Amino acid sequence: MTVGNMENAQLFDAGKKGRGLRATKDFNTGDVIFAEPSYAAVVFDSFAAQVCHSCFRHQANLHRCAQCRFAHYCDRTCQTACWDEHKKECGAIKKLGKAPSQTIRLAAQVLWRLHKDKGRASDSQLLSVDQLQHHVDDLAEEDLKKLTADVHSFLEYWSHGRNQPSADFISQIFTIIKCNGFTISDQRGLQAVGVGLFPNLCLVNHDCWPNCTAVLNHGNQSAVSSALHSQRRIELRALGKIAEGEELTVSYVDFLNPSADRQKQLRDLFYFECTCKRCTEHIGDDLMAAAADGQPSSDKVKEVTAFSKECLEKIEKSRVDCDYNEVLKLCRECLEKQKDVLADTHLYKLRVLNVASEVVSYFKLFPEAADYTHQMLKGYMKLYHPNCAQLGMAVMRAGVTHWHAGQIELGHSMICKAYGILMVTHGPNHSITRDLESMRLQTEMELKMFKQNEHALKSEALTSGGSTAKKI
């Protein structure tokens, strides 16, 4: 097995977890441990005409490939920069007459890249993609049937001269993608728009309370010449201090679920049993199911919990149906029932607050939205890692909501806090952090003007009061 070299991380035997990566030196909070361009990446089928297939940015009026009429790009420069990745796909789509599913497109891109690079794409790639973990033997019967159908569809799509891979090898590539694919978000980090494979990142093991986070940097495609573009890449960033020799970990699932649910998710999606401290000691589980401080009866808690679960199902159905008035009605009703019964950290309360804050913001009811986000943050602060990206995004949203509600001082304070978290998780050059910096400066200016006006009004009132007293 040929192994590449990476300056800041080293492949090692992590025991029952299999292979893993560990730090080769000390790192500080926010340090980039490594950056890795995507080996292969595709836009989701549902966003094929809305997102650039090169930089994965959401854009209006995208330029469509004249050959396959499927791929879309910001402009000619993005299209030129992506041509090396797209040309095989372009020919295959033209030959088939339509674009296949995202999974088949990604598998084909991986195989085309394997043929081109003969294994590793660079010396810093630690392992060839086909050496990554797959779980063909662990698939359930239904999953095996789907895999067989995908392989059949793939063979119809594949075009690479006479180099026809075996069905077993194609199956292996599909399961490598299933277990190791990384969701790619748009430039604002708010919506998942694609999936990619990053071989070195695939070697970083899971922990429910990780010491690293992985974030997509979309690169820079603004230069007229595509030769000056920087690639989209994953950055692995330290969430706190990491000592030399310490294993590097990221979280594969959202922590905001009970340990049993997280373990089930990890078994179903990644075929392993999580034995991290948070799972084995069930840390946080009590808070996620806690009753309010007033100590309501256990029967009342059970009743409201059951009502909340049922209500969340109705809320989701109404959201799918785009019936936002019904969503708002259900949220308000549920929150009223939960009041003084479920704690701020209870999962069902947090989920309702999250939806409620979104829907009232949609209706521009910003004072009510600010109240919901404020309540939500109370729970998040007690549950999430202090430098977790999800927490940073939630604090940013709360700050913007308070700002729109006219609560400038509190909004500015939250935006500053979010900026501090996202500087760790995303870094200073990410589009989200740059947007947040602009908001921070704008709220700071508005707050200064507000305080100046307030001071002027007080001075005027004192002067007026003094003049009146003299007249008397």
Q: Taking the domains of the chain in order of start, what are their residue ranges?
A: 38-233, 284-383, 387-466
Structure pTM?
Answer: 0.88
How many angstroms separate the CA atoms of 397 and 417, rounded?
11
> Are the beta carbons of 34 and 8 closer than 8 angstroms?
yes
Tokens of 314: 């109705």
SS3 232: coil
How many angstroms separate the CA atoms of 90 and 111, rounded?
15
Identity of the residue numbered 139: L
Q: Fold identical between 284-383 and 387-466?
A: yes
How many angstroms separate the CA atoms of 448 and 423, rounded?
24
Say what the pLDDT of residue 455 is: 66
CA atoms within 13 A on the CB side of 347: 16
DSSP E strand boundaries for 272-426: none
When computed from its CA atoms, the radius of gyration of the chain, rounded to whole angstroms, is 26
Q: Which residues are bridge partners to 36 per DSSP?
A: 234
Q: Which residues of the chain have pLDDT under 50?
A: 1-2, 469, 471-472
> Are the beta carbons of 399 and 409 closer than 8 angstroms?
no
- DSSP symbols for 396-446: HHHHHHHHHTT-HHHHHHHHHHHHHHHHHHT-TTSHHHHHHHHHHHHHHHH
Looking at domain 387-466, which of 1.10.510.10, 1.25.40.10, 1.10.150.120, 1.20.58.2240 is its CATH number? 1.25.40.10
Say what the pLDDT of residue 139 is: 84
Separation in Å, CA 240 to CA 82, 163, 270, 382: 35, 47, 26, 18
Tokens of 17: 């977890």
How many angstroms separate the CA atoms of 256 and 386, rounded?
13
Is the sign of the CA dihedral 355, 360, 362, 367 positive or negative? negative
Say what the pLDDT of residue 17 is: 87
Any idea of the CA torsion for 198, 199, 203, 209, to the nearest 10 degrees?
0
Say what the pLDDT of residue 161 is: 52
How many angstroms separate the CA atoms of 386 and 375, rounded?
17
Q: 397: alpha, beta or left, given left = phi > 0 and alpha = psi -120 to 50? A: alpha
SS3 471: helix
Q: What are phi and psi of 22, to 5 degrees?
A: -130, 155
Say how many residues make up the chain: 472
CATH fold of 284-383 reads: 1.25.40
Say what the pLDDT of residue 2 is: 46
Q: Which residues are bridge partners to 242 per DSSP?
A: 27
Q: What are phi and psi of 323, to 5 degrees?
A: -95, 80
Q: What is the pLDDT of residues 353-393, one digit of tens each?
A: 999 999 999 999 999 999 999 999 999 999 999 999 999 99
Say what the pLDDT of residue 141 is: 87
Residue 235 makes CB contacts below 8 A (sequence gap 6+) with 32, 34, 35, 214, 215, 216, 217, 427
Q: What is the pLDDT of residues 77-126, one digit of tens each?
A: 888 888 988 999 999 999 889 999 999 999 999 998 988 887 677 778 88
Q: Which residue has the tokens 């299999």?
A: 18
Q: What are phi and psi of 193, to 5 degrees?
A: -125, -5
With residue 273 as reference, give the H or E element that holds it: none
